[in-house]
Amino acid sequence: MTDSYILTPSGTHLDGFAEVGETVSFFPVLMHSCANRKAYGGLIRWKLVFNGAETLSEGEFDSSRYSGGVVFRADRPGYYKAVFEAFRNGQSVAEARIGVLARPEVLRPTLPVPEDFDAFWEKQLAELRNVPVAPQLTPLDASGTVAAFDLQAPCAGDRPVSGIFMRPVNAQRGKHPAILLPHGAGVRSAGSTRFAAWAANGFLALDLNAHGIKNGLDPQEYEAINQKLGNYPVRGFETGDPEKTYMRDLFLRVVRALEVLTSMPEWDGRNLWICGGSQGAWQSLAGAALMKQVSGIAVWIPAGCDLASGGWPFNSLTGKKELPPELLRTLPYFDGCSFCSRIGEIPVSFALGLADEVCRADGVMAAYNSLKTGTRELSVHYQMGHEFSASVMASADRFVRSHLRK
């Protein structure tokens, strides 16, 4: 039987924050994954990276001779990440990452909000208003406490809003909060167990299919659509025309989905939430900025933040000193930082992972710092990667429930 291992990082500043000038220490512990005991011996290599782009130092140590790690001085504001890789008998057996933010409150977006940002989006919303809010609901099988429907609604652009809508079977007119749950990256049908739980607890809940495609197809059909769409999040940005981007239509479907929820006779007229992770968080930031009836948002590991510095889906821009003029023109109209600057005085919850290599912490903090609201919550997880942990999801749920308007 081949041994397997887990590399667990630890150190100082496990709350995720440091002051500029402080000394930070990170060290890894290699464990046998099948037994709760330390694994002795082997080589551990490490690298310290600043803001995802600049390697500050790197090295290695023999763990059979002594314990080692990374000790450094956080000499400037930003995001410091240590990457560890363990080797035994010349083979890589485990990896781990851990990070810290130094004075994150001063981090700001790379590009400013365009002067015509509001005018641009008002033009897009005017186009959307020319399309009637006319949802079509097709009943689906559901539990005894929840009524479920396939929902299709016309929208600006070439695709409709597509999702699964659920409400309590005994829903009453004007009595229920509403929540929109947009999807992360990829192509899939709407509908999820977690989403149904919202409806079971009294919400009008809409799980939004990001691409306006049919729900309930076979998995291979979604894979074929995914192959056809390719790297859709970056499509059109190279033209220099923000109206030609794929994300323009995707965000308009988010706004239309929110409008659909407010059109439901059971909506209480006060509580309209939007929550999501990764690409779903990016959509949530856009929706809250463009739909003023939104009463609160909760997002985790948000994508789309500080795009010009390499925020997903533009990770390839990390460390680039110069960008094509077409990207300089289009990126800020869709940046999560720009959207955050337009979100009003509503409750906002952010969760980020300091081991996340997809949606980096420095970009997420630039977006968080762009918020104007005083009712905001930041949850930082020092060794969480790009993942939806149960604890993060539970915290988001609690945040929503604790900030409902009476």
**For 158-193, what is each residue's pLDDT tens digit?**
999 999 999 999 999 999 999 999 999 999 999 866
Confidence of residue 17 (pLDDT cuts 50, 70, 90): very high
Compute φ and ψ for 357, nearest 5 degrees: -100, 0
The dihedral over CA atoms of 334, 337, 210, 300, expressed in degrees to the nearest 10, equals: 170
- pTM for the whole structure: 0.96
User: To 5 degrees, how large is the angle CA 292–CA 293–CA 297?
Assistant: 85
Residue 195: pLDDT over 60:
yes
Residue 35: pLDDT over 80:
no
Residues in the chain: 406
b/e per residue 137-161 (b: at least 16 CB within 10 A): eeebebeeebbbbbbbbbbbbebbb
- Of residues 393 and 203, more confidently modeled: 203
Q: What is the pLDDT of residue 2?
A: 60
Superfamily of structural domain 5-106: Immunoglobulins (2.60.40.10)
In the numeric block, the tokens 């995720």 are attached to 16
Confidence of residue 126 (pLDDT cuts 50, 70, 90): very high
Which of 58-67, 145-154, 225-234 has the least mean pLDDT? 58-67
**For 340-394, what is each residue's pLDDT tens digit?**
999 999 999 999 999 999 999 999 999 999 999 889 999 999 989 999 888 898 9
335 contacts 247 by C-beta, under 8 angstroms: no
Spell out the alpha helix ranges (H) of 276-360: 279-290, 325-330, 336-340
b/e per residue 363-376 (b: at least 16 CB within 10 A): bbbbbbbbbeeeeb
Spell out the alpha helix ranges (H) of 243-313: 246-263, 279-290
Element holding 166 (H helix, E strand):
strand 161-168
Coil/strand/helix, residue 121: helix
Q: What is the mean pLDDT of residues 307-329?
A: 96
Name all contacts of 197-202 with Cβ < 8 Å and 24+ positions apart: 198/166, 199/146, 199/147, 199/148, 199/166, 199/167, 199/168, 200/143, 200/145, 200/146, 200/168, 202/168, 202/176, 202/177
CA distances from 383 to 8, 106, 366 (A): 9, 22, 20
Q: What is the mean pLDDT of residues 30-51?
A: 85
| Chain centroid offset of residue 119 CA | 26
Q: What is the pLDDT of residue 1?
A: 45
**For 265-277, what is each residue's pLDDT tens digit?**
999 999 999 999 9
Its sign, for the CA torsion 100, 103, 109, 110, is negative
Please state, in angstroms and rounded to a whole number, the distance separating the CA atoms of residues 260 and 262: 5
**For 107-125, what is each residue's pLDDT tens digit?**
999 999 999 999 999 999 9
Residue 278 zone, left/alpha/beta (φ > 0; ψ -120 to 50; rest): left
Domain ranges of the chain: 5-106, 117-402
- Please choose, from the candidates 25, 16, 5, the residue with its C-alpha nearest in 3D space to the C-alpha of residue 354: 16
- The pair of structure tokens assigned to 16 is 């995720």
Which of 3.40.980.10, 3.40.50.1820, 3.40.50.300, 3.40.630.10 is the CATH number of 117-402? 3.40.50.1820
Q: What is the pLDDT of residue 404?
A: 97
